[in-house]
Amino acid sequence: MAHAAEGIAIAAPKAPITEPKGTQTAVFAGGCFWGIEGVFERVKGVTSVESGYSGGTKASADYDSVSSGITDHAESVRIRYNPAVVSYNDLLHIFFSVTHDPTQLNRQGPDTGRQYRTAIFPANAAQRAAASAYIAQLSKAKYWKKPIVTKIEGFSFYPAEGYHQDFMAKNPAHPYIVAWDKPKVANLKRLFPNRIRS
């Protein structure tokens, strides 16, 4: 068994998913949004990735309020993608393999708090069913020593401030990016070489 920080080779989702034609949306949370955004921006078929906040109890969100914990939002990413090129199941596969450790409760790497929880925010019933089936599949396979704690929550997304967008691309030498996020991109290239955009 590998630690998620090293990237982990896991089986792809077995349950099929039928998706509408045209651009679709996926929202995931799994720690600091900088790294997750940086990973999915490199995936073929993804048309845009935006950092933001999801799953809170308030009608809006900003970094200071989310960081304080008073809104109960999670740092998240909104992924827009072409399902003819990359499916929601493909995105789930990458999410669990590369971006974070789904057994960590309310923390990832050096970051702690519910804003760093692992969660999926399905945009429709098909995505909800796919996410639920994949969590069950992975839990049964026991790829990790500890149980998966990823929750499926109601869909919501509020864009983060501009300075958080494309943070990895704009700040490649930032110490946090070098230590925690560049390894995720390296694992994406190692585990999913055919998914990397040219």
pLDDT for 6: 64
Looking at the predicted structure, is the pLDDT value of residue 3 above 70?
Answer: no
Of the chain, the end-to-end C-alpha distance in Å amounts to 31
Residue-wise pLDDT for 53-111, tens only, equals 999 888 788 888 898 888 899 999 999 999 999 999 999 999 999 999 999 999 999 99
Could you tell me which residue, 4 or 56, shows the higher pLDDT?
56
User: Which residues, 6 or more positions from 85, have their beta carbon under 8 angstroms from its beta carbon?
Assistant: 44, 45
pLDDT at 5 over 80: no
Query: What distance in Å separates the CA atoms of residue 72 and residue 58, rounded to the nearest whole number?
Result: 8
Q: What is the pTM of this model?
A: 0.94
**3 state SS of 38:** helix
Is 197 part of a structural domain of the chain?
no
Residue 15 pLDDT: 94
pLDDT band at 118 (very low <50, low <70, confident <90, very high): very high
Which secondary structure element, helix H or strand E, spans residue 167, and what is its range? helix 167-170
Q: How far apart are CA 106 and CA 158, in angstroms?
A: 20
Percent of the chain whose pLDDT exceeds 70: 97
Question: Would you say residue 133 lies in a domain?
Answer: yes
What's the structural domain count of the chain? 1
139 in a structural domain: yes
Active site residues: 32
Residue 157: domain span? 4-191
Give DSSP secondary structure letters for 78-132.
EEEE-TTTS-HHHHHHHIIIII--TT-SSEETTEESGGG-EEE--SSHHHHHHHH
Task: State residue 62's pLDDT score.
Answer: 84
Is residue 196 domain-resident? no
Give the CATH number, domain containing residue 178.
Answer: 3.30.1060.10
